[in-house]
Structure 1
Amino acid sequence: MRSFKLKNLIVLCAALATLSACKKDRIPVTPDKPAAERAGVYILNQGNFGANNSTLSFYNYTTKQLTADFFGAANPDKKIGDTGNDVGIYGSKMYIIVNNSGTIKVVNAKTGVFVKEIALNQCRNVVFYKSNAFVTSYDNKVAVIDTTSLTITKSIAVGRNPEQMVVSNNKLYVANSGGLSFGNPDKTVSVIDLTSLTETKKIDVIADPVSMTADNYGNIYVLSLGNFDDIAPGLTIIDNNTDAVKSKPAVALGYNIPIIALGDFVYYPTADNKIAVYNAKTQKAEKDNFITDGTTFLSAFALAADETTGEIFVTDAKDFNSNGTLTAFDKNGKKEYTLTTGISPGKVILVNK
């Protein structure tokens, strides 16, 4: 899923006044279709850059209640921090990546109770593989965190300002954005061998790659922001066996570009805030819009999928300065329910019972 670029956050916050979001701690809603094995869904809200107002919301599938500030309720003496950029669950722990605070908050995945804080400057995104958490930072490195000791055991040098990652075919692929170099973005994806924990190759892609996903057919999908008026945003598809670029299909991208894969299909938002569908099996565009009931978005910002139900979740950041929404759709693209989130809902993850 694409998180808001740091440079864009700075520009946005200079242009918009920060609003305080009034939230009730528990908000009744009426969704009626969770999977039995799921406990619920978390939404990480980035907040306003520089305002130290990131929140973690939780919708409980059993009680059908939304806790707007789940982390705050579990830890009254703590805040998540400034610009929560990513969140992931591995085992019994949840890792909250807080970009502008330069910290990783580790909490209990079910209760939200604080476990430990790990300092990492300008941390961005997290993935997991065999008892390690891998976290990108704008220091041009990927930090390796042992999920038992919760300590950083190694830092792997990659390209400039790395963003999202994906694990595929026992390799770690890292999108090197170079997004902080105005007019001079990076245009590579680093390949890291997960046995030696070293970079083995850089693959040239469209400029300013930020978002990634992998399908079941050996393909890595990389969405790039391009370079303003010089290079348009675009999609690069990489073969995970040869680590060579297979194609760069034409897609109508905007500047909020999360991407997810579910089964035979890949989903991403278009420039006009539709949710396009790409067929991973045929390697052809499938639909211009997954949404079939007329639901629209102002700023489609994050995507997630439940492989057990086929549900697709879409967040809408609205104006990036007031509360957003999370909408759940069934596998046929029809809305099931909508929840009110915090400011800039940038990541959605499911948690099991």
Structure 2
Amino acid sequence: MKQFNLKALLVATTLTAILASCSKDKTPTPEIPAAERAGIYVLNEGGFRSNNSTLTYYDFASKAIIPNIFSVTNAGAELGDTGNDVQVYGSKMYIVVNYSSTIEVVNPKTAKSIKQIELRDAGVGRQPRIIVFNKNKAFISTYDGKVAVLDTASLAVEKFINVGRNPEQMVIANGKLYVANSGGLDSFTAIGPDKTVSVIDLATLTETKKIEVGLNPINIAADAYGDVYVISYGTDYPAKPVLTIINNSTDVVKSSASIDAGYAADFVVNGDLAYYITDAGKVKVYDVKTDVVSKENFISDGTALVLPYALAIDSTTGELFVTDAVSYGSNGALYAFDKTGKKEYSFTVGINPGSIAFVNK
């Protein structure tokens, strides 16, 4: 289980999950020219309230590793406390630093700071979690029950949208933003966790409804077949989480079933397949077209991971990148596997490597 208040929640809670099966009609998607990758960033959370988040960069051509590139590039400045998400969008990279309540906007080719955005309400940190993008807007979930709307040109926050309690991951599908409302900070109180997904109309930037799912939803993803996937963790981890599938045309729940995902394990969709980490240290492959597990472990060469923590798929090569937290208190590692599941290389990263981003040439 992940360290208190790191990538998943500021609370250890848990799960009961879902797998279902039905045929789907794929929505055609336009062909996009393959990008040429320059390298990969790993955002290391550090320890909660330890103020030691770091950003590791690995250059694909030179094989050079820069362990704390943000500090190196920015005259010794540090990221802050609990880096939670990193994403490249357009000509900028956005680093969400949860407990420091900041968004660091940097040049993705150099990690040079462009602007630091503070997210506070009357001096109290909003605790941002996840960032996603649509056109010229960035959407940031914040633990005070809001989604911040940021203009990606001016880098100004334009508004806050009310959602549920302690929102976590978000995904955009069918002109809507789906927000997993965890309520994780209330998991061990009389109130209990939230159990909803907020639906935000991207045209009006308003919440239109809430969809009931399992208790403590954290992870959310979408496929090209019109489905949104939500993993909820309940309050009795390591009992199995629940995977809820929502039709994004009707916003009606299609199915709910248990899934053996590890705590706050990302559900990463790439084409017809999704990937997620289990408590047993495996990376399972799930077919989103048929809604069944198609492979018990993507890793095919026997490579063993201690505490697999985050994963990402490079859609241009089919490579899978998995971080290993090792002990939650020491430096972790990143492993690269080819599209057949064989290890290509690995290298040391920082403490609790929780998010991965690719940068193009």
Q: Which has the higher contact order (CA 8 A, sep 6+)?
A: 2
Mapping for residues 171-250 of structure 1, pairs under 5 Å: 171-183=176-188, 184-228=192-236, 232-250=240-258
| Residue 297 (structure 1) shift | 1.5
| Residue 234 (structure 1) shift | 1.7
Preserved CA contact (<8 Å) 1:207 1:231: no
What is the aligned partner in structure 1 of residue 350 from structure 2? Answer: 342
| Residue 50 (structure 1) shift | 1.1
Deviations along 1:229-248, one digit per CA (max 9) or x if unpaired, are 69742211111111111112
Preserved CA contact (<8 Å) 2:11 2:187: no
Deviations along 1:294-337, one digit per CA (max 9) or x if unpaired, are 11222111110111101111111111100111111111111111
Preserved CA contact (<8 Å) 1:223 1:235: yes
Which one of the candidate residues 6, 11, 14 is aligned to 1:7? 11
Equivalent residue letter for 1:7: V
C-alpha distance in 1 between matches for 2:295 and 2:284: 6
What is the aligned partner in structure 1 of residue 275 from structure 2? Answer: 267
Preserved CA contact (<8 Å) 2:35 2:360: no
Equivalent residue letter for 1:328: A
Q: Which runs of 4+ in 1 moved over 6 A?
A: none
Preserved CA contact (<8 Å) 1:316 1:345: yes
| Residue 90 (structure 1) shift | 1.2
SS at match of 1:200: strand
For structure 1, the residue ranges without an aligned partner over 5 or more in a row are: 10-34
Mapping for residues 55-134 of structure 1, pairs under 5 Å: 55-120=54-119, 121-134=126-139
What is the aligned partner in structure 2 of residue 39 from structure 1? Answer: 38
For structure 2, the residue ranges without an aligned partner over 5 or more in a row are: 1-5, 14-33, 120-125
C-alpha distance in 2 between matches for 1:64 and 1:156: 42
Equivalent residue letter for 2:175: N
Equivalent residue letter for 2:160: S
What is the aligned partner in structure 2 of residue 155 from structure 1? Answer: 160
TM-score, with length taken from structure 1: 0.89
1:286 aligns with 2:303: no
Deviates further, 290-299 or 250-259: 250-259
Deviations along 1:262-304, one digit per CA (max 9) or x if unpaired, are 1111111112121111111111121111111111222111110
| Residue 256 (structure 1) shift | 3.8
SS at match of 2:78: coil
| Residue 101 (structure 1) shift | 0.4
Mark the CA change 1:253 to 1:147 in structure 2 (over 3 Å): closer, same or farther: same
TM-score, with length taken from structure 2: 0.87
Task: Give the fraction of aligned pairs with identical amino acids, expressed as a percent.
Answer: 54
Preserved CA contact (<8 Å) 1:132 1:144: yes
Deviates further, 331-340 or 159-168: 331-340
Mark the CA change 1:231 to 1:244 in structure 2 (over 3 Å): closer, same or farther: farther
Deviations along 1:213-243, one digit per CA (max 9) or x if unpaired, are 1111111111111112697422111111111
What is the aligned partner in structure 2 of residue 137 from structure 1? Answer: 142
Deviations along 1:121-177, one digit per CA (max 9) or x if unpaired, are 201100000111100000100000001110100100000000000111111000000
Q: Name the count of aligned residue pairs.
A: 327
Which one of the candidate residues 262, 287, 296 is aligned to 1:254? 262
